[in-house]
A and B are shown apart, each in its own frame.
Chain A
Amino acid sequence: MIDMIEKEEPIISEEEAAQYDRQIRLWGLDAQKRLRGSRVLLVGLGGLGAEVAKNLILAGVKGLTLLDHEQVTEESCRAQFLVPVTARGQNRAQASLERAQYLNPMVEVRAYPDRPEDKPDDFFLQFDAVCLTGCSRDLMVRVDQLCSQRNIKVFCGDVYGYYGYMFSDLGKEHHYALRIFCSLKEALEVDWTSEKAKASLKRTPVDYFLLHVLLKFRTDKGRDPDPQSFAEDSQLLRQIRDDVLESLAVSGDLLSDDFVSYCFSEMSPVCAVVGGVLGQEVVKALSQRDAPHRNFFFFDGRKGNGVVDYFGPN
């Protein structure tokens, strides 16, 4: 890894050793040093974003950049714990900055209020890992394509009510050489008409199709399902479900109506679970330790179970 050789070997101070003691005892000093030399971009400071921010800041990365163009609303205050209740109307990234920094003064935390769509390619290339939450499908595909070529680790994740997922693309040259990752585009564009795909449908978590529905909703409406518009959004969700399943050439029975009323807003405990898994995947990738999940993790907060599954060109 050329990037790592060029970097100066980080030193863990006695202060850091004392604070990180319990995690150094788990993943070792070398892993902690690699974290100490890593810069991460986090897009989206909703419920899931705040959890990931917390986890990465506590882990002791070199720097975490927060990027979010959204404003703090009443809903944001309910969803996450970094934003002060007095910050209504402020930019969500900037409003989260102070509390995020307090979590660990030894990490360089920055916040920018811009739209990720407006950021030039260069912006994304300054990081060792990027983590996208609350982003449109198009943006995620673009950033993934751009970054994975340069060996920058890409992670995506969202929480919709009781449901959540994370996706990772660690590129072709990841340290754990046995594992090959594919792009998000390839992962989402699996051809379900092939015999092989049809055969594997039975074992496929329905969450994968649910993800397609919710990403389409986000693209079409420019937002996620809103409890304030429950009636219309529910109707739209059912419609999108029909359209998506048809376009993927899979049975409409795969996803019953049931999911509709459980995918509104971001449920805190689900953010905690998905944010925990996602945070740990980022730590694993940056520290080059332990086998990464490949390439999706789906969590169903109603049932209480979480599965790892691979989607991509077979």
Chain B
Amino acid sequence: MVQLVGSLRKELADSLSSCRVLVVGAGGIGCELLKNLVLTGFKNIEVIDLDTIDVSNLNRQFLFQKKHVGKSKAQVAKESALQFCPTANITAYHDSIMNPDYNVEFFRNFMLVMNALDNRAARNHVNRMCLAADIPLIESGTAGYLGQVTVIKKGLTECYECQPKPSQKTFPGCTIRNTPSEPIHCIVWAKYLFNQLFGEEDADQEVSPDTADPEAAWNPEEAAARATASEKDGDIKRVSTKEWARSTGYDSIKLFNKLFKDDIMYLLTMDKLWKKRKAPLPLDWQQLENHALFNEDSPGSGLKDQQVLGIWGYCKLFQHSVETLRSQLEQKGDGAELVWDKDDPPAMDFVTAAANLRMHIFSMNMKSRFDIKSMAGNIIPAIATTNAVIAGLIVLEGLKILSGELESCRSVSSSTANYPEVISLVTYEEPYDELEECQRSPDYFFCTVFDTFP
């Protein structure tokens, strides 16, 4: 005789109340997942997240309110869940899952691990730990309206790292330094510039004109000469951008003229580059200031951040942000470095201004702070409903696992790719472009790569 506890068979309900599960991440997917787990009847849940709550989380991470901004996500998620399910046994860790304390033994405590992450490094790590501990892992991801859930079990399915994932897009140095053609090139340049001036200097993040650019040479001999010259010149040119800036006391106008006038004029001397391309137009601070009286920025309707200012507006923004960042640096003391953060207003202002000035120089339409923030900050748009759907699917897969029905687990995706099936069992072969973090094959095959992982 079938006995039910709510919707579930009694045997299943009983096993839910005794098993221990781990949720990695208490953000968009994590909040929804925690809620589903306690309401479904899971009693022993551990949740870990290194992050604190930000106001931009509140449109979807519903366990958090405005008053919680700045606090630990894992901790507040636990407290909120206990409000509607006081009998649940929840342990919260404000920590990184990559901390060595969470070793294979730690993972072996759980019957099931569920990822609710937003970065590849952590996903790779948890993947390996679950393989080593031989614990089923439910991997998931969302971006905008799309989402996906996949079960990973050693010996039964491929693991997260079996298929190569598309890596973050990078651009050739000369494109960034000499011949940008798209706004993103200018934005990357501006972020490099931030690091060169205020942060950790990186040899791969040069911003000055690249004399060794192979495209600049008219013939192979010249290319060779340029390459050696660029190295030899070292003694004179090797004053780093930071040192140069320091020597001027981070004078914003001197900085402006070097980056947006002198360096551009230097680029113009590499005339082969401009044979087939529109040549860049150097800016002059004084000229722009004089013109400014005729070019007032008119306030439009809509968000302040979505306005696109005139060129003088970005000159002023550049000046202002340099001055603010300079004093931030001074306050931190000798040898201090700033780390770029999209949510730090002067850092974001600086990149907005510098990128736009460069776009203007290279005849590209300038962009709003809102748009630049998306690109510079790699912001993935996110809403509550997609996360709700995916978190629901995660629990349903989890129930199959706990019922011993692992073989019936499938990769499930939420998209319109297979319309009219809008939640479908994955059957496609192609990589899922929109979700950088997840790439799946429908085939199940044995994964032996990590058999010997310690």
Whether A305 and B392, one on each chain, are in contact in the complex, defined by CB atoms closer than 8 angstroms, is no
Total residue contacts A-B, CB cutoff 8 A: 193
Within 8 A of B (CB), among A19-54: 19-26, 29, 47, 51, 54
Closest to B28 in A: A22
The answer on a CB contact under 8 Å between B385 and A55 is: yes
Stretch from B34-42, B125-133, B184-192 contacting the other chain: B34-42
Shortest B12–chain A CB gap in Å is: 11
B84: interface (CB < 8 Å)? yes
Q: A25-B379, A308-B420 are in contact. Are A51 and B388 (CB under 8 A)?
A: yes
A154 to B3, CA, bound (A): 37
Complex Cα–Cα for A275 and B306 (A): 32
- The interface-forming segment of A76-84, A137-145, A177-185, A188-196 is A76-84
Cα A243 to Cα B383 in complex, Å, equals 43
Residues of chain B at interface, number, CB under 8 A: 64
B59 touches A304 (CB 8 A): no
CB distance from A133 to the nearest CB of B (A): 15
Smallest distance from the beta carbon of B169 to chain A beta carbons, Å? 19
Which of A112-120, A212-220, A264-272 lies on the face that meets chain B? A264-272
Q: Are A81 and B35 in contact (CB under 8 A)?
A: yes
Smallest beta-carbon distance A296→chain B, Å: 10
Segment from B60-68, B156-164, B238-246, B434-442 that makes contact with A: B60-68
Question: Does A65 interact with chain B (Cβ within 8 Å)?
Answer: no
Known: A162-B7, A280-B385, A304-B425. A85 touches B392 (CB 8 A): no
Is A54 touching B374 in the complex (CB atoms < 8 A)? no
Q: Which of A52-76 contact B (CB under 8 A)?
A: 54-55, 58-60, 75
Identify the closest chain A residue to B421 (Cβ).
A307
Q: Is B172 an interface residue (CB 8 A)?
A: no
Pick from B83, B385, B393: contact of A283, CB under 8 Å: B385
Residue A14 CB within 8 A of the other chain: yes
Which residue from chain B places its CB closest to the CB of A228 in the assembled complex? Answer: B4
Q: Which residues of A contact B425 (CB under 8 A)?
A: 303-305
Task: Report the minimum CB–CB distance from B262 to chain A (whole Å).
Answer: 37
Whether A305 contacts B303 by the Cβ 8 Å rule is no
Asked if A17 lies at the interface with its beta carbon under 8 angstroms from chain B, I say yes
**Contact assessment for B385 and A279 in the assembled complex, using a CB-CB cutoff below 8 Å:** yes
In angstroms, Cα B4 to Cα A25, docked, is 44
| Contact B382 A103, beta carbon cutoff 8 Å | no
- What's the Cα separation between A158 and B86 when bound, in Å? 27
Interface size on A, residues (CB 8 A): 70
Q: Which residue of A lies closest to B63 (CB)?
A: A81
Chain B residues, CB < 8 A from A83:
84
Q: In the assembly, what is the distance between CA of A7 and CA of B7, in Å?
A: 45
Given A78-B6, A81-B84, A230-B2: A273 touches B35 (CB 8 Å cut-off): no
Tell me, in angstroms, the Cα distance from A267 to B385 when the chains sit together: 17
Question: How many Å lie between the Cα of A283 and that of B383 in the bound state?
Answer: 11
Nearest opposing residue in chain B for A77, CB measure: B84
* Chain B 352-387: CB-based contact to A (< 8 A → 1; otherwise 0): 000000000000000000100010000111111111
Q: Is B423 an interface residue (CB 8 A)?
A: yes
Closest chain B residue, CB of each to CB of A54: B62
**Contact assessment for A227 and B420 in the assembled complex, using a CB-CB cutoff below 8 Å:** no
The answer to whether A304 touches B6, judged by C-beta atoms less than 8 angstroms apart, is no
B453 CB–A CB distance under 8 Å: no
Do residues B396 and A301 form an inter-chain contact, with CB atoms below 8 A? yes
**Known A22-B379, A230-B3, A272-B32; contact A309-B384, beta-carbon cutoff 8 A:** no
How far does the alpha carbon of A12 sit from the alpha carbon of B305 in the complex, in Å? 12
Answer whether A29 and B145 are a contact pair too, CB < 8 Å, given A264-B4, A277-B385. Answer: no
Given A82-B84, A85-B84, A267-B6; A58-B302 close (CB under 8 Å): no
B50 within 8 A of A: no
Are B40's CB and A305's CB within 8 A? no
Contact with A along B38-78 (1 / 0, CB 8 A): 01110000000000000110111010011000000000000
| Chain A 213-235 per-residue mask, 1 if CB under 8 angstroms from chain B, else 0 | 00000000000000100110010
Complex Cα distance, B36 from A268, in Å, reads 6
The answer to whether A265 touches B303, judged by C-beta atoms less than 8 angstroms apart, is no
* Chain B CB within 8 A of A167 CB: no
Instruction: Tell me the bound Cα distance from A265 to B305 in angstroms.
Output: 47
Minimal Cβ-Cβ distance residue in A for B60: A58
A176 contacts the other chain (CB 8 A)? no
CB of B2 within 8 A of CB of A59, answer no
A36 CB, min distance to chain B CBs, angstroms: 13
Q: Is B391 at the interface (CB under 8 A from chain A)?
A: yes
Task: Find chain B residues with CB under 8 A from A75 CB.
Answer: 6
Contact yes or no, B422 A103, CB < 8 A: no
CB distance from A12 to the nearest CB of B (A): 7
Contact among A81, A267, A279 with B384 in the assembled complex (CB-CB below 8 Å):
A279
Given A26-B144, A276-B385; A306-B423 close (CB under 8 Å): yes
Chain A residues, Cβ within 8 Å of B374? 25
Complex contact A267–B40 (CB within 8 A): yes
Contacts of B387 in A (CB 8 A): 276
Contact of B59 among A58, A84, A266, A308 (CB under 8 A): A58
Given the interface contacts A79-B39, A227-B4, A261-B4, does A273 sit within 8 Å of B305 by beta carbon? no
- Chain B proximity mask over A248-273: 1 for CB below 8 Å, otherwise 0: 00000000000001101111111111
CB of A297 closer than 8 Å to a CB of B: yes
Q: List 13 additional A-B contacts (Cβ < 8 Å) besides A81-B84, A272-B35.
A: A12-B303, A17-B305, A22-B59, A26-B145, A80-B84, A103-B65, A105-B66, A261-B9, A269-B391, A277-B423, A279-B385, A280-B386, A305-B412
